[in-house]
Structures are given as structure tokens and as C-alpha cells.
Amino acid sequence: MPEQQVSANNGKHSRTAATFSGRVTGMSCGAGLAHSRLGWVFVLMAIATPAWSQSPRSSQSFLNPSPSTSDSSLAQPPHLILGQTGSSRSAREDHYAAARRKLVETRIRTAGVTNEAVLKSIETTPRHEFVPAAVRDKAYFDMALPIGSAQTISSPFIVASMTETLDPKPTDKVLEIGTGSGYQAAVLSPLVAEVYSIEIVDELGRRAAGVLSKLGYENVHTRIGDGFLGWPEASPFDKIIVTCSPESVPVPLVEQLREGGSMIIPVGERYQQTLYRMTKRDGELVREPLRPTLFVPMTGTAEDARQTLPDPANPKVVNQDFSDPPGTDDPEGFVPGWYYGRQVEQVALPADGAEGAKDSGLVRFENETPGLGSHLLQGIAIDGTKVSLIRLSARLRTEKVVKGPDPDAWPMVAISFYDELRRDLGTFSMGPYRGTRPWRDDSRLVRVPRAAREGIVRIGLFGATGTVEFDHVSIEKID
């Protein structure tokens, strides 16, 4: 297909904004599933991302909550900025700048990102310019946000962490698979020599190119195309960053990575993925698993070749009893089957279950700092046309649990639902749990929205202090 050079003029001078080649149908490679203070990412939709806030509160009203709803007011992300306040553009920009500084200092630096150049780029990149007006008031929450076409912009923490892991150098030529909103490319722009970014969804790619051009990111080049194929005429690349998940690494990307170069990519099943750093040595990739994660799928050629598909008619929680041992390729220090963990450990129990749990394992969340995240997430496929009612269950105990600074910063178990465009359909919870109480079982029936196609299960302290342990967190299909 012929390529089209799209130029833009900012009133001062013209510059090439992007390169487009052809029209490709399908979903964007887009952003990861929601991360927030809930830890890693991305994803979603929200999954996430998601889509994902630090506490499991829906951004919309609950859909048909059952009478057993234990709390219909779950905590939102910290309000770093409430919207476009102020009487002028400069006043709004001052508020945005203050929100970015607070985001970096209270959410990203404290979560472990230490590269000062990366932190500076996050602090100076106007994320509000890359999100739709309808969600601009949440631009500096540490959460994924919908950007249209069933895609999301990753949470700032995920973008910062992946960028730091990429180890960008001023001389690097970087290939990004999944332009999405253009925010990841914008963050990379001041850190490297050139960024080449591919987006499979025409509408998203053109919109991102326009924003990048308007803001003056002259070293970012974009194209519409299937990211599976890479950008061969611009290769080799020093670094490749993939913001969507194939089941296996696309061969063209391996071929286009220079010898000694590195690739950051989430790989795995649709809802069970691992983020890897892969280094090319002697023409082969050497894998280093980094952490469990959840990103939107790499569509096009990659998705057509996917072998293992989820079963949305029979939703289940993986490693629900927290007894699964880490696999041979699982990163150390993480809970198998779950992701975006903060201040959590999986504990193996004696065979006699001496600690009171029913199974041979549990997860323990401990937090001493009010408001600091401590949680786990897991994404599931669930089709509301095939599943109308589920039972959400868990076994738990608490010790010296004290409410955190946010209105609903208590331990809880929650599930959030999203439609095929990854729009938030509501969150349903059990809890809150408080004080010191021995092991007990809790459950509730949850009516599944008919439009639901994905869900996120969340457990943890969510900003409360103390200790909470969970065992056997499950979903049972009732109808």
C-alpha cells in the first residue's frame, strides 16, 4: 500500500508528523491493563487496563447490585486533580503541572521507579493531552483510561516502569508496537534519538500522530500497520517496546532488533502474561522474566495465531487457593496467576493447615503506611450473555486493620466488569473488613451485566494499615 506523509503546521514552522501506510482493520495494540496504585499494570482495559483505580471503586454507578452489597461506595483513586479548574489556560496548566509533580512523588517514585530522567519525562509529559475530554479530569490519576476503539492508555506507573526497564539511551533508535494514545512515545521522546511507533487502528494512529505533532515531538514517527510485522525499512532498532501481548514473540521483531539490543514485551495467554526483558545474543533472544502482568492482546497476525483461548462462559480464578508453586519461567517474589501485587506474599502452609486456612497456601497483605497500596489483581474472561449470576467467595482473617486516609480505604474483595469496548460497567464488593478477627468465610451473589465481556478480581488492604490474609478467593457460575 502506498505510504502517506502527513505534515502539520503549528503556526511557526512545518514538520513531518507521522508516516502512515495503508489501512489495517482490527484492534489497537494499545496500552496495558490497568494499573494504578494497585500496582502493575497496565493493563486493561482498564485491562484496564484499566479502568483501574487504587481502590476497587467503579467510576460509574453500580449496575443492578444485589441486596447483599456490603458497600456501594468504594474508594476512588486519590484526587490529584479534579479537572480543568482555573480561569485561564495558564491556570489550568499550572494545576496540571502540580498534579504531575504529585503523581511522580507520591505514586511513581514510591512504587520503585528510580531513573531520574524517566521520572522527569513523566513529570513534564502532558498526559491530559493524550486522553479524551470525557476522562481528562482523571488524567493524573495513576490508572489506565479508555481512549476509544476498545483501547486504553496505560497508567503512568506502568509507562514509567516499562520505560525504566527499557533503559533508554540518548543514541537509541526505539521501535514501539502499539501507539495507542501516543503517550508512551511522548515519554520516550526526550530520552532517545528516534521513536518509531506502529498502530493497527487507523483512527487511533491518526489521532496520536496529530497530538504528537501539535506538541512538537519531532523525533517520533508513526505508522498505521500490523505491529507483528515491525518496521523493516527503519531497522535495526536498539530497543523495542511492545505495549500489547502476543502469545509468542513475533519473528519479524526478533529480526529487526540489533545484536545486543533489548526488547520489553508481555507474552502469554490472554489473561496470564509475563513481562519479559529479552536480549538478542548470537541471533537468539535470551529471556529474563520481570513480573506477571496484563495487557490488551496484540491483534492482527498475532491474535489470528493464538492457540490458547479463554472460556468466557465458565469464568474461574487461577490459583484461587494460593497453593500453586511458581513455574520454571515465573519471576521470583510474585503470586502465580495474579499480578500488579503490592506488599503481598504467598505463604505455603503445613500439610495440617495449622494456620487455619483450608488449603495449603494463603496470601498475606501487610501495610504500615496509611494510604500505601497493598493489593493483587487478576483479569478474567466473562460473557454476560452466557453468565448472568456468579457467587464471589473468599476466606480471610484480619489483624489490627485500621482504615486508611481515603473514605473507603478498607480491606475488601471486589470484581469489576467491562464491556467489549472496555468501558466500566460497575464494581461489586465484599467488605470492608476491619479490626482483628479470626478466619471466616464470606460470599455474595453478583448479577453480571449482560454487556460484560471482561472482569477484574481485586483483593487487598487498599490503603488500610494492618494485616489481612486471604485463602480460596473464587468465582462460581450460578446461572
pLDDT: which is higher, 467 or 328? 467
From 163, 145, 169, select the one nearest 59 (Cα to Cα).
145
CA 1 – CA 42 distance, rounded (Å): 33
One-letter amino acid at 25 equals: T
Report residue 355's pLDDT band, with 50, 70 and 90 as the boundaries: low
Query: Is 155 annotated in the active site?
Result: no
Q: How many CB atoms lie within 10 A of CB 435?
A: 10
- DSSP, collapsed to helix, strand or coil, labels residue 245 as strand
CA 411 – CA 336 distance, rounded (Å): 21
Of all helices (H) and strands (E), which one includes residue 95?
A: helix 89-103
CA 235 – CA 220 distance, rounded (Å): 15
The confidence score (pLDDT) of residue 92 equals 59
- Catalytic annotation, pick one of 121, 154, 161, 393: 154
**Considering the chain, what is the average pLDDT of its residues?**
81
**Strand ranges (DSSP E) for 282-383?**
284-293, 339-342, 344-348, 361-367, 375-381
pLDDT: which is higher, 460 or 43? 460
For the residues 263-281, what does the mean pLDDT come to?
A: 92
One-letter amino acid at 328 equals: T
For the residues 113-138, what does the mean pLDDT come to?
A: 96
Question: What CATH class is the domain 3-304?
Answer: alpha beta
Q: What is the pTM of this model?
A: 0.75
65-76 residue pLDDT tens: 333 333 322 333
The confidence score (pLDDT) of residue 332 equals 73
The confidence score (pLDDT) of residue 305 equals 79
On the question of pLDDT at 274 being above 70, the answer is: yes
Q: Where are the domains of the chain?
A: 3-304, 339-477
Tell me if 244 sits within 8 A of 216, measured CB to CB. Answer: no
For the residues 371-389, what does the mean pLDDT come to?
A: 94
Grid cell in block for residue 190: 526526550
- 116-124 and 89-103 helices cross at what angle (nearest 10)? 150
Q: Which of 127-141, 204-218, 328-342, 351-365 shows the lowest mean pLDDT across its residues?
A: 351-365
Grid cell in block for residue 342: 503490592
Report residue 407's pLDDT band, with 50, 70 and 90 as the boundaries: confident
- Paired sense of beta strands 34-36 and 39-43, if any: antiparallel
On the question of pLDDT at 24 being above 80, the answer is: no
| CATH number for the segment(s) 339-477 | 2.60.120.260
- 116-124 and 156-166 helices cross at what angle (nearest 10)? 140
On the question of pLDDT at 390 being above 80, the answer is: yes
Which runs of consecutive H residues, i.e. helices, occur in 127-214?
156-166, 183-188, 202-214
Tell me if 70 sits within 8 A of 444, measured CB to CB. Answer: yes
Give Cβ neighbours of residue 9 (< 8 Å, ≥ 6 apart): none
On the question of pLDDT at 367 being above 50, the answer is: yes
On the question of pLDDT at 59 being above 80, the answer is: no
Which residues lie across from 412 on neighbouring strands?
A: 460
Tell me if 476 sits within 8 A of 390, measured CB to CB. Answer: yes
Task: Give the residue carrying C-alpha cell 505533532.
Answer: 213
3-state SS of the chain: helix, strand, coil percent to 5? 20, 35, 45
Q: Which of 12-21, 168-177, 403-412 shows the lowest mean pLDDT across its residues?
A: 12-21
The confidence score (pLDDT) of residue 93 equals 65
The confidence score (pLDDT) of residue 397 equals 97
DSSP state of 57: -
Burial, 331: exposed, middle or buried (Cβ in 10 Å; 0-12, 13-18, 19+)?
Answer: middle
Q: How many CB atoms lie within 10 A of CB 226?
A: 21
Helices (H) and strands (E) in the chain, counts: 7, 23
One-letter amino acid at 385 equals: T
pLDDT: which is higher, 113 or 58? 113
CA 57 – CA 379 distance, rounded (Å): 16
For the residues 37-50, what does the mean pLDDT come to?
A: 33
Q: How many CB atoms lie within 10 A of CB 348?
A: 10
The confidence score (pLDDT) of residue 78 equals 33
Burial, 195: exposed, middle or buried (Cβ in 10 Å; 0-12, 13-18, 19+)?
Answer: buried
On the question of pLDDT at 299 being above 90, the answer is: no
CA 38 – CA 339 distance, rounded (Å): 9
The confidence score (pLDDT) of residue 344 equals 93
DSSP state of 320: T
Grid cell in block for residue 446: 453478583
Grid cell in block for residue 477: 457460575
For the residues 445-466, what does the mean pLDDT come to?
A: 96
The confidence score (pLDDT) of residue 304 equals 77
The confidence score (pLDDT) of residue 373 equals 86
The confidence score (pLDDT) of residue 392 equals 97
Tell me if 262 sits within 8 A of 166, measured CB to CB. Answer: yes
221-256 residue pLDDT tens: 999 999 999 999 999 999 999 988 898 899 999 999
How many Cα atoms sit within 13 Å of 339 on the Cβ side?
33
Tell me if 39 sits within 8 A of 341, measured CB to CB. Answer: yes
The confidence score (pLDDT) of residue 69 equals 32
Give Cβ neighbours of residue 257 (< 8 Å, ≥ 6 apart): 235, 236, 237, 240, 263, 280
The confidence score (pLDDT) of residue 91 equals 55
The confidence score (pLDDT) of residue 357 equals 55
Report residue 82's pLDDT band, with 50, 70 and 90 as the boundaries: very low
